[in-house]
């Protein structure tokens, strides 16, 4: 009997990338959205290529070029594991198309295989974005060898399998164990936040511990990442450094075995887990409570907050920058900035406000990374007709979707601003500029995100992360804020507070214009 997973994979892959819809649709807007999505992916890939090449050059200059293949496998595997774990079980158990898929004449194993293969190919592309520039630098500085090329090709092809299998196994186990709990979404969200915080703390710890007068110790990075965090990559290193040819084949075999076991186990329990996830949470006895009056706008705002905190994928992709701002604020409590930047005591007073103005640039960059509003409208999906038919204005709906972004970013920004200014002993101008930016720019991020999502909605998603990650509004919000933030960070050296002040004034003007525009908007479900 002919296997049916290739056909299922093809359909899902074309739908996941959006290429099929753009190719078949006669709507020019769909083609522009697809082109914008491709441009976003290319730009992000270019950033990764740049940093990967710089890392490879640093290793080769320290005479550690032979360690690069194993490091590449370990680095990409750790990132794949972390981000796959943050997605939870949404990749395998997508609720939007569950009824359609389950009605098809395909086995559960075909469904799991097709979905895992889609995720594998996406992760393989990510590994290639890191591996290709690293290997180009390696061959240019260490010399070319067909044996090394074959070893690297096999290692790269197998690299996504083991972290993908491990992350999916953990996510599936968590989903299965919490499926019938009343607060299952909260538990999964807390797990995702814990993983994100752990990864950031580990990154910051290495950044500070590896700092020295001669630069970072690349060997220390290798020992930490390969030796401690991801030991399977040592098998790849043994093949190249010690001539143990069996090492890379053992690595590939372990990776394939892990993926095969995952498919077999998940397929056996796929229906039970999917049914549990789709069922309502555990029942609770009804308790009479006083009915509290609330405005329509207040109800909409509470609905948006509840939606944001109900899914780990939505929260972590929407609040990454805010979490980083809070982590930075906590880290600043234990860091001596004068020693870190080697500022002479006699110059501390002259540069303290400049550091505050630079902090405004950091705040702008990270706040732009936290824009749940840029995907809040898209997340309505097929149910948007219910929201749009409510007796509330489009302005109320769009403003309500901007509130969580503005509140979360402003709270995190104020914490960061207060700790930074207190730590460096900033003067009144430094306090005023940083606090104003912490209040005004998040307002623009929220309203601007709602505006962009109104113009470029993505309602045809099957997995939430398609709306909160792979969409034009999120791309514009993140990279637009990045350009502004880096600009303020650099210009703080030359023009003092005026770059940050200009962004604050622009935030007020654009926020007012967007709020006024929302009063003329009409929302339709088609």
CB 114 within 8 A of CB 196: no
pLDDT at 215: 44
Dist CA 328 CA 200 (whole Å): 10
pLDDT at 281: 41
pLDDT at 356: 83
**Beta strand extents in 83-231 (DSSP E only):** none
pLDDT at 409: 94
Dist CA 184 CA 192 (whole Å): 12
Dist CA 403 CA 326 (whole Å): 19
pLDDT at 11: 67
Location of structure tokens 């962004």: 503
pLDDT at 422: 87
pLDDT in tens, 297-347: 888 999 999 888 877 677 777 788 888 888 888 888 877 665 555 555 555
Instruction: Give Cα 247 to chain centroid, integer Å.
Output: 33
Dist CA 413 CA 441 (whole Å): 9
Question: How far are the Cα atoms of 363, 366, 421, 435, 441 from residue 500, in angstroms, in the given order?
Answer: 10, 15, 15, 11, 10
CB 176 within 8 A of CB 99: no
Rg (CA), the chain: 25
CB 234 within 8 A of CB 227: yes
Angle at alpha carbon of residue 326, lines to 325 and 327, rounded to 5°: 90
Dist CA 512 CA 478 (whole Å): 21
CB 501 within 8 A of CB 509: no
Buried b (16+ CB within 10 A) or exposed e, 191-202: bbbebbeebbee
pLDDT at 176: 67
Show the tokens assigned to 498: 């005026």
pLDDT at 214: 41
pLDDT at 513: 95
pLDDT at 501: 93
pLDDT < 50 positions in the chain: 1, 207-215, 280-286
Q: Work out the number of other CB atoms within 10 angstroms of the CB of residue 26.
A: 6
Dist CA 261 CA 439 (whole Å): 51
Location of structure tokens 């637009």: 480
Residue 177 exposure: Cα atoms within 13 Å on the Cβ side = 9
pLDDT at 61: 84
Show the tokens assigned to 35: 């082109």
DSSP per-residue letters across 256-287: HHHHHHHHHHHHHHHHHHHHHHHSPPPP----
Location of structure tokens 């943050």: 86
pLDDT in tens, 423-443: 888 888 889 999 999 999 999
Angle at alpha carbon of residue 106, lines to 81 and 184, rounded to 5°: 45
Q: pTM to 2 decimals?
A: 0.66
pLDDT at 364: 93
Buried b (16+ CB within 10 A) or exposed e, 61-76: eeebbebbbbbbbbbb
pLDDT at 516: 93
SS3 521: coil
SS3 464: helix
Dist CA 516 CA 518 (whole Å): 5
pLDDT at 213: 41
């Amino acid at each position: 009997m002919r296997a049916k997973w290739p056909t299922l994979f093809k359909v899902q892959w074309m739908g996941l990338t959006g290429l099929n819809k753009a190719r078949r649709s006669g709507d020019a807007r769909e083609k522009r959205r697809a082109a914008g999505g491709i441009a976003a992916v290319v730009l992000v890939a270019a950033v990764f290529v740049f940093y990967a090449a710089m890392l490879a050059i640093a290793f080769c200059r320290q005479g550690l070029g032979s360690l690069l293949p194993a490091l590449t496998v370990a680095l990409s595997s750790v990132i794949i594991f972390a981000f796959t774990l943050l997605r939870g079980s949404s990749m395998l158990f997508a609720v939007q198309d569950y009824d359609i898929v389950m009605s098809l004449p395909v086995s559960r194993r075909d469904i799991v295989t097709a979905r895992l293969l889609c995720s594998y190919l996406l992760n393989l592309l990510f590994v290639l974005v890191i591996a290709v520039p690293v290997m180009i630098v390696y061959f240019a500085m260490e010399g070319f060898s067909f044996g090394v090329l074959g070893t690297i090709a096999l290692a790269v092809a197998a690299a996504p399998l083991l972290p993908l299998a491990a992350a999916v196994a953990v996510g599936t186990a968590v989903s299965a164990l919490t499926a019938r709990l009343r607060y299952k979404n909260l538990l999964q969200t807390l797990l995702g936040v814990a993983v994100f915080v752990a990864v950031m703390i580990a990154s910051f710890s290495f950044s500070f511990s590896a700092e020295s007068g001669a630069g970072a110790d690349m060997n220390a990075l290798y020992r930490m990442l390969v030796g401690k965090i991801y030991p399977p990559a040592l098998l790849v290193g043994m093949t190249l450094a010690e001539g143990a040819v069996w090492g890379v084949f053992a690595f590939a075999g372990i990776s394939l075995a892990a993926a095969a076991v995952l498919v077999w186990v998940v397929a056996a329990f796929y229906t039970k887990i999917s049914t549990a996830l789709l069922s309502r949470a555990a029942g609770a006895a009804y308790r009479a409570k006083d009915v509290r009056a609330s405005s329509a706008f207040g109800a909409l705002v509470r609905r948006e907050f509840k939606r944001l905190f109900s899914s780990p994928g939505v929260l972590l992709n929407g609040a990454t920058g805010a979490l980083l701002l809070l982590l930075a604020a906590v880290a600043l409590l234990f860091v001596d900035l004068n020693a870190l930047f080697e500022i002479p005591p006699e110059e501390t007073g002259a540069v303290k406000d400049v550091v505050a103005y630079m902090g405004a640039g950091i705040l702008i960059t990270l706040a732009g990374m936290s824009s749940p509003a840029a995907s809040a409208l898209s997340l309505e999906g097929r149910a948007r007709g219910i929201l749009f038919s409510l007796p509330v204005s489009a302005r109320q709906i769009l403003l309500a979707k901007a509130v969580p972004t503005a509140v979360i970013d402003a709270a995190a920004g104020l914490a960061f601003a207060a700790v930074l200014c207190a730590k460096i002993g900033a003067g009144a101008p430094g306090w005023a500029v940083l606090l104003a930016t912490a209040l005004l720019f998040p307002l623009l991020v929220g309203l601007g995100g709602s505006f962009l999502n109104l113009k470029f909605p993505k309602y045809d998603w099957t997995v939430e992360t398609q709306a909160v990650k792979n969409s034009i509004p999120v791309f514009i919000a993140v990279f637009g804020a990045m350009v502004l933030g880096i600009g303020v960070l650099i210009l703080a050296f030359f023009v003092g507070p005026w770059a940050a002040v200009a962004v604050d004034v622009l935030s007020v003007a654009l926020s007012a214009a967007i709020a006024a525009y929302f009063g003329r908007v009409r929302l339709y479900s088609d």
